[in-house]
Amino acid sequence: MQDLTVSLVQCELAWEAPADNRQHLAARMAEITGRSDLVVLPEMFTTGFSMNALGNAEEPGGATEQWLLDQARQRDCAVTGSIAVRVGDAVYNRMLFATPEGVSHYDKRHLFRMAGEQKRYAAGQERVIVAWRGWRINLQVCYDLRFPVFSRNRQDYDLMLFVANWPAARRLHWRALLPARAIENLACVAGVNRIGQDAKGLDYSGDSMALDAEGQMLADLENKNGTGSVVLSGADLVAYRERFPCHLDADDFQLR
């Protein structure tokens, strides 16, 4: 496996202001053009974690999806994050994964009932793994982090991404669960969260991070407004799995 350079973009988000957020994020990405294989943005990066699903939702292939595709092509990298997308009568919290060749997506499976997300959004049904530059990447959104069965590695991915709007009140959980997902799945993990305060008065501490398959911290943005990049070693990942093949003793199961 080749190495993969992953960039984490941690920032404040303007409330329900897609054009402003796209402009700001484009400027942030311009700082790392040519130096990254994959750029990870937060959950609902155009609006913040708003329950105004119908008001914020874009159509498939809409302005933000085209913007992501343009960014990927301009910067010769993959760019990912989630937005609200309407399909028929349903709105999904959809994680878009754009490469210069096109856009894949994953619809958030676990909806955050404490905010009433399940009343405004439809739940996705399928887990999604994309291939990019020799890495198999599992796409996950925020609350999915609490459900390890859904994200269990079946020897079908190398890197798991979590994009989030995870409040500071539960930062201990975020900082504990991300390493746990890496360790139990023998996979690299990157989680990107926002900072600042949203229109509902919720504070976000960021804590975006990247970890190797042993759960060792490779990057930790803490509460900083900034971008951090890390090189994930493909050779180290393969060597660790050969040295410590605990996946061979994993329990078999099926999701229903």
Show which residues are catalytic. 43, 108, 142
- CA distances from residue 255 to 77, 125, 130 in whole angstroms, order as listed: 32, 11, 19
Could you tell me how far CA 127 lies from the centroid of its own chain? 13
Could you tell me if 140 and 130 are in contact, meaning their C-beta atoms sit under 8 angstroms apart?
no
Q: Which residues contact 131 (CB under 8 A, 6 or more apart)?
A: 137
Q: Which residues contact 215 (CB under 8 A, 6 or more apart)?
A: 179, 180, 182, 183
Of 68, 66, 93, 64, the closest CA to residue 80 belongs to 68
